[in-house]
């Protein structure tokens, strides 16, 4: 496969598409599929045949605003329809070439207005099961370009120049990591993709793996060339069966086209990827635990150093990046590091995909430039809190992150700013809470999660989270005391500082951040024995003051 051949494929795809007057793209992502997108697609195909118009119906990945699903986009006019069901199919097809169907039209200009799509550039435009669709949108061009025209150090330089930082949450500079692995000595090196999206409440990695799987493979192959690896693993959670199926199909197609395997693009570079399934363990998102899991062992983390970059899978130098990080690689290579560097804030470059969920009008996936204000994401893109309720907090970073209150919403989103607020960027879950959520209960929820997910290897995490859970349960029940609160704070710092891996070190974050911003709710539970949100079931009798 050469660049010319890629262009030929792209050419033939566009010729094929040009045969049709209209394209109807149906979002088949989980949220839309659960509302009957499959039936809708069949109905659209039937309606198109019956109408005699020349229409191509395409199944695509997630288009973004899931709350308006099932979504349909009609090209070339780029008309977006919301809540389309099978019985609307005829109306949609009939409208082609005329005026759009008014009652289905989706007016989300504000929602899309401040979004910038890099990782999700193909979402909603390609059929994830067709490699040629990806190639037609410049897919695999970056890989062949790198193999034929760039040196490994040149690639690393470009990634470093872009300022890309790890999208898994830690924010480690990607170029630096690649450089370390490239410099490590070893006859065999590995490239690993962390697709164990453990944060409950986040689904952008699932969406990328399902909607644009080749983008991840291309990013991994470029990384492998840059660091000198010949073998890759994608670690995917078993809870994402569709992602596993799509990646398996994508691997097969890429091998068939000679874009994976031996002598890729007629160069000496050989690289292949295997899929490894997770089995439901949050701790496996931690890199050393993930490696243990790939080796077929219990996912228990180990002490670092040595870092996986020196000694990872089976003791060999291993590069581990998140799905979204790899998804950023191909565009950076194609457009240059400067292009990426010019987006975003001072120390956080590029864009970030967030999964906007919870008590918010427009739920779904959004991709915004770094540095955008939280308020803009929630009020403008997200459309605010529905049902006349008031915004209370936004939770980022999942069980490792914290809750950010309303008064901090004018701060721009970046790794450093979120860390300063007591939260973390995390993988990109963004859960909005309104006045019906009790922050003490939320903290308890996360600690319960960390308690059950603790692997049990180190004591601060294993015993600490359990004790924190007991204390928080007491406070929620209304039987807590002010001493409990002190003890809780004490425990938080112990667990934070003494735990072995990221899970334990960040487990107290939800408690610490709620204690910082919503301390009055804790006091309310302890002293006044009341839960303002009405969530907690307070057992203790209310003392009547004379």
Partner 1 sequence: MRKNGFARHALIETLHTVQSSFGYLDDDAIRFVALSLRVPLSQAYGVVTFYHYFSLKPPGKHTFTICAGTACYIKGADKLIDAAEKHLGIPQGQTTSDGQISLMTARCVGACSRAPVVLSDGEVSGEMSAELMVEQLERWAVE
Should residue 413 be labelled a site residue for partner 1 when binding is judged by CB under 8 A? no
Identity of the residue, 158 or 167, whose beta carbon is nearer to partner 1 in the bound complex: 167
Assess contact for 120 and 367: CB atoms under 8 A. Answer: yes
Binder among 70, 124, 166, 278 for partner 1 (CB under 8 A): 278
Name the nearest CA neighbour of 359 among 442, 431, 409.
431
Should residue 286 be labelled a site residue for partner 1 when binding is judged by CB under 8 A? no
Identity of the residue, 96 or 355, whose beta carbon is nearer to partner 1 in the bound complex: 355
Q: What is the rounded CA–CA span in Å between residue 439 and residue 450?
A: 17
In SS3 terms, 478-534 reads as CCCCHHHHHHHHHHHHHHHHHCCCHHHHHCCHHHHHHHHHCHHHHHHHHCCCCCCCC
Chain CA centroid to CA 60, Å: 18
Assess contact for 204 and 326: CB atoms under 8 A. Answer: no
Binders in 8-47 for partner 1, by CB under 8 A: 30-31, 33-35
Should residue 276 be labelled a site residue for partner 1 when binding is judged by CB under 8 A? yes
Should residue 324 be labelled a site residue for partner 1 when binding is judged by CB under 8 A? no
Should residue 363 be labelled a site residue for partner 1 when binding is judged by CB under 8 A? yes
Q: What is the rounded CA–CA span in Å between residue 296 and residue 293?
A: 5
Identity of the residue, 195 or 337, whose beta carbon is nearer to partner 1 in the bound complex: 195
Should residue 506 be labelled a site residue for partner 1 when binding is judged by CB under 8 A? no
Chain CA centroid to CA 38, Å: 24
Should residue 200 be labelled a site residue for partner 1 when binding is judged by CB under 8 A? yes
Within 8 A by CB and 6+ apart from 406, the residues are: 391, 392, 393
**String of contacts with partner 1 for each residue 338-357, x by CB under 8 A:** -----------------xxx
Could you tell me which stretch among 50-58, 143-151, 211-219, 297-305 binds partner 1 (CB under 8 A)? 297-305
Should residue 297 be labelled a site residue for partner 1 when binding is judged by CB under 8 A? yes
Should residue 282 be labelled a site residue for partner 1 when binding is judged by CB under 8 A? yes
What DSSP designation does 377 have? I
Q: What is the rounded CA–CA span in Å between residue 294 and residue 237?
A: 12
Binder among 301, 344, 358, 504 for partner 1 (CB under 8 A): 358
Identity of the residue, 165 or 206, whose beta carbon is nearer to partner 1 in the bound complex: 206
Chain CA centroid to CA 190, Å: 23
Could you tell me which stretch among 124-132, 191-199, 382-390, 518-526 binds partner 1 (CB under 8 A)? 191-199
Angle 91-93-95 from CA coordinates, rounded to 5°: 70
Chain CA centroid to CA 89, Å: 32
Q: What is the rounded CA–CA span in Å between residue 5 and residue 3?
A: 5
Binder among 24, 251, 404, 455 for partner 1 (CB under 8 A): 455
Tokens at residue 425, please? 């960027």
Identity of the residue, 122 or 437, whose beta carbon is nearer to partner 1 in the bound complex: 437
Starting at the edge strand that comes first in sequence, how are the strands of the sheet with 402-405 ordered? 364-369, 351-358, 429-434, 391-396, 402-405
Should residue 431 be labelled a site residue for partner 1 when binding is judged by CB under 8 A? yes
**String of contacts with partner 1 for each residue 213-242, x by CB under 8 A:** -------------------------xxx--
CA atoms within 13 A on the CB side of 401: 28
Could you tell me which stretch among 202-210, 213-221, 405-413, 519-527 binds partner 1 (CB under 8 A)? 202-210
Assess contact for 273 and 233: CB atoms under 8 A. Answer: yes
- Nearest approach in angstroms of CB 23 to partner 1 is 25
Binder among 269, 340, 391, 446 for partner 1 (CB under 8 A): 446
Q: What is the rounded CA–CA span in Å between residue 146 and residue 277?
A: 30
Binder among 73, 111, 167, 206 for partner 1 (CB under 8 A): 206
SS3 398: helix
Residues in the site for partner 1, rule: CB under 8 A? Answer: 30-31, 33-35, 66-67, 69, 197-203, 206-207, 238-240, 276-282, 293-299, 355-359, 363-365, 395, 398-399, 429, 431-433, 437, 442, 445-446, 455
């Amino acid at each position: 496969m050469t660049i010319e051949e890629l262009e030929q494929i792209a050419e033939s795809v566009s010729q094929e598409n040009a045969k049709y007057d209209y394209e109807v793209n149906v979002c088949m992502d989980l949220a839309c599929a659960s509302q009957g997108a499959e039936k809708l697609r069949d109905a659209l195909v039937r309606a198109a045949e019956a109408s005699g118009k020349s229409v191509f119906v395409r199944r695509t990945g997630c288009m973004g605003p899931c709350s308006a699903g099932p979504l349909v986009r009609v090209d070339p006019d780029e008309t977006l329809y919301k809540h389309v069901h099978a019985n609307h199919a005829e109306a949609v097809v009939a409208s082609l070439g005329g005026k759009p169907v008014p009652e289905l039209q989706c007016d989300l200009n504000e929602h899309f207005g401040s979004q910038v799509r890099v990782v999700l550039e193909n979402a909603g435009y390609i059929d994830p099961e067709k490699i040629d669709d990806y190639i037609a949108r410049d897919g695999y061009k970056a890989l062949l370009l790198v193999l034929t025209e760039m040196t490994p150090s040149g690639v690393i330089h470009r990634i470093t120049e872009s300022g890309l930082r790890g999208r898994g949450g830690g924010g480690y500079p990607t170029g630096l990591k690649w450089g370390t692995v490239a410099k490590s000595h070893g006859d065999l090196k590995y490239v690993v993709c962390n697709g164990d999206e453990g944060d409950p409440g986040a689904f952008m990695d699932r969406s990328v793996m399902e909607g644009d799987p080749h983008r991840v493979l291309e990013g991994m192959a470029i990384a492998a060339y840059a660091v000198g690896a010949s073998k890759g693993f994608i670690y995917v959670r078993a809870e994402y069966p569709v992602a596993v199926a799509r990646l398996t199909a994508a691997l097969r197609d890429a091998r068939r086209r000679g874009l994976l395997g031996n002598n890729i693009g007629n160069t000496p570079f050989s690289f292949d990827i295997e899929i490894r399934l997770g089995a439901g363990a949050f701790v496996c998102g931690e890199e050393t635990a993930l490696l243990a899991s790939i080796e077929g062992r219990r996912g228990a983390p180990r002490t670092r150093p040595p870092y996986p970059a020196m000694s990872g899978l089976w003791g060999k130098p291993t590069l581990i990046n998140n799905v979204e990080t790899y998804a950023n690689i191909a565009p950076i290579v194609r457009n240059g590091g400067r292009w990426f560097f010019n987006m975003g804030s001072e120390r956080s470059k590029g864009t970030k995909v967030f999964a906007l969920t919870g008590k918010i009008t427009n739920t779904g996936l959004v991709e915004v430039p770094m540095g955008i204000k939280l308020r803009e994401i929630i009020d403008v893109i997200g459309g605010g809190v529905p049902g006349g309720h008031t915004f209370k907090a936004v939770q980022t970073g999942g069980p490792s992150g914290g809750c950010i209150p309303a008064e901090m919403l004018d701060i721009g989103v970046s790794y450093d700013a979120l860390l300063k607020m007591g939260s973390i960027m995390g993988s990109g879950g963004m859960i909005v809470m309104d006045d019906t959520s009790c922050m003490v209960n939320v903290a308890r929820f996360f600690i319960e999660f960390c308690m059950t997910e603790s692997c049990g290897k180190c004591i601060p995490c294993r015993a600490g989270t359990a004790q924190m859970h007991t204390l928080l349960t007491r406070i929620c029940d209304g039987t807590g005391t002010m001493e409990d609160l002190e003890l809780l704070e004490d425990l938080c710092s112990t667990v934070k500082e003494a735990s072995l891996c990221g899970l334990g070190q960040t487990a107290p974050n939800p408690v610490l951040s709620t204690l910082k911003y919503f301390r009055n709710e804790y006091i309310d539970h302890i002293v006044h024995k009341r839960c303002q949100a009405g969530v907690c079931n307070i057992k203790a009798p209310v003392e009547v003051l004379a």
